[in-house]
Amino acid sequence: MCLCDYTFSMHEQSIAQAIIEEAQKHGVVKKIIVECGDLGHLPAIEMKSVLEKITPWEIEVIQKKAVVKCEKCSFVGEPNILQQLHDQNVFACPKCEEMFPEILEGGDILLKEVSVDE
């Protein structure tokens, strides 16, 4: 199925295509589980929508909470997400308001599981 048949951005298409290609390495795919971090390049709902429209597979998307570490005040925990734009997140330390603390978790989109026909 051609990715260009749908009205998704090139960025969405490239992320989806990478997940599809990786999943297909395991055989004839029936289902995939994808983990989308709160600070990933695409929100979980968008990732699920793209994959459902371009594959016949069952798609499960798990949203992973972000965890950050602030170098200024040593806070470790969920950031204050101020704005989520397409391929860009604006976030700060909720304790001292320092912008863009280090992301420890929840910054990626990961293929977690692939179920294939046997």
In the chain, the domains with their CATH numbers are 3-116 (3.30.2320.80)
CB distance 94 to 78 below 8 Å = yes
Residue 37 has pLDDT above 60, yes or no: yes
Average pLDDT for 43-52: 92
Average pLDDT for 100-113: 96
pLDDT of residue 77: 98
Per the prediction, the chain carries an average pLDDT of 91
Integer-rounded Cα radius of gyration of the chain: 16
